[in-house]
Amino acid sequence: LNAGATSIATQGVGNVEISLVLDISGSMRHPTYDADGNQTGLTKMEALQEAATTFVNTALQDSNADRVSISLVPYSQHVNAGPDLFGRMNVNQKHSFSHCVDFADADFSQPGFTSGTTYEQGQHIDTWTNWTANLQDPVCPTRPFERVTAVTQDRDALLTQISQMEPTT
């Protein structure tokens, strides 16, 4: 019994969507240390920016055009979906100060958004731990560089957003 077969190996990049999730919390203002415990001269944020810039430049090479896209997800206590993504979701909007969304644990059991589900808008200030806070002390990030950038191949826009990042308060 003969079983003839032919095969071929190819190397390449298929269609890839990457989510780059970046910590922009207040702890990112602290220094970084090398393996010997010596300060490197960089803050955690500066090290993150260097690494994220290298990653974006590596992933979005001209040879991968139209085959690789990146979503950038900055986070601290919450994630700011941004007005565009927020507006495409069915959210019970309670205020116009920010664009965070609260999800139930069950929402993470499947990809995508469930049609017909109404999501709750995240609170803007943390009234439990800082009841004297004002609207200038949000738990939901509000600055443009703190918003999700969803599924893009625009390397320059991603690099600009990364370079603008700074730790939250």
Q: What is the pLDDT of residues 90-111, one digit of tens each?
A: 999 988 888 999 888 888 888 8
Element (H, E) at 152: strand 149-152
Say what the pTM is. 0.81
Checking if the pLDDT of 113 tops 80, the result is no
Residues forming beta bridges with residue 72, ordered by sequence position: 20, 149
Pair of tokens at residue 45: 């944020």
